[in-house]
Amino acid sequence: MERDEVWAAYADQKTRVVELLEQLSPSEWNRPTLCEQWTVRDLAGHLTMQGMTIGDAVRTMVREPAVRKASLGGMNRIICEMAKVRARVPIEGLLDQIRATIATPRANPGLTEREALVDIVLHSQDLALPLGRELAVRPQIAAIAADNVLSYAGSWKGTVFGDLGARGYRLVATDIDWSRGAGPVIEGPIVGLLLLIGGRPAGLDQLTGPGVAALRRR
């Protein structure tokens, strides 16, 4: 998939997320997500961060003590606290900022459009599943995101994902021609497999096969 096609897929999925957010009640904005330390509102704050420059990040760190303190805990802590800072604006303002990142797609420093796609596909499910909402992802797009996450193994990009121990299993999608790895079979929709390799235990609920029981025991 070419760069422009990836950005088009990113825009499509982010538009779906905005449409979901627009439907939420005020209480749902305070509900937890699959991202342990984020509410829906916090995660929405994170979605405004696409395209931030290093200068933007430095200015936030200077201005916000919580973000400066988080810098001692590494990149994940910085991202976590910065999202909470950006989530302070009114809901309509958050939605406007997210829409702006759709209209002017730009990768964050050190990343590409493919990391942006992984981010929005995974976070769309982080939002939707705990709310009991369905937010569709095209299987082809989820497969591209899954391959990217697998390719991050051993690199600094992989440090943002939890390790559920999915390596050593045969991952087989049931809704697209996609399979990876070797070992006991874990099968199901590609989105469920993406959640698994992206460190989300909730993905197991969508999956079957002998590998699932073994993975749960681990």
Both structure tokens of 7: 């950005």
Q: What is the mean pLDDT of residues 95-119?
A: 93
Q: Per-residue pLDDT tens for 1-33? A: 899 999 999 999 999 999 999 999 999 999 999
CATH 3.40.50 fits 144-217, yes or no: no
Both structure tokens of 53: 């420059």
Q: How confident is the model at residue 217 (pLDDT cuts 50, 70, 90)?
A: confident
Q: What is the mean pLDDT of residues 48-54?
A: 89
Backbone angles phi, psi at 162, to 5 degrees: -75, 150
Q: Per-residue pLDDT tens for 146-160? A: 999 999 988 888 888
pLDDT score of 197: 96
> Does residue 125 register a pLDDT over 90?
yes
Q: Per-residue pLDDT tens for 179-206? A: 999 999 999 999 999 999 999 999 999 9
Q: Report how far apart the first and last C-alpha atoms of the chain are (Å, whole number).
A: 35
Q: How confident is the model at residue 65 (pLDDT cuts 50, 70, 90)?
A: confident
Contact 126, 162 (CB under 8 A): no
Residue type, 97: Q
Both structure tokens of 152: 């991050």
pLDDT score of 61: 81
Same fold across 3-136 and 144-217:
no
pLDDT score of 58: 83
Name the nearest CA neighbour of 17 among 91, 170, 113, 126.
Answer: 126
Name the nearest CA neighbour of 208 among 178, 187, 181, 191.
Answer: 187
3-136: CATH class: mainly alpha
Contacts of residue 92, defined as CB under 8 A and 6 or more positions apart, other chains included, come to none
Residue type, 118: V
Q: What is the mean pLDDT of residues 132-142?
A: 96
In the chain, where the domains are located: 3-136, 144-217
Q: What is the mean pLDDT of residues 102-128?
A: 94
pLDDT score of 9: 97
pLDDT score of 103: 85
Both structure tokens of 59: 């200015």
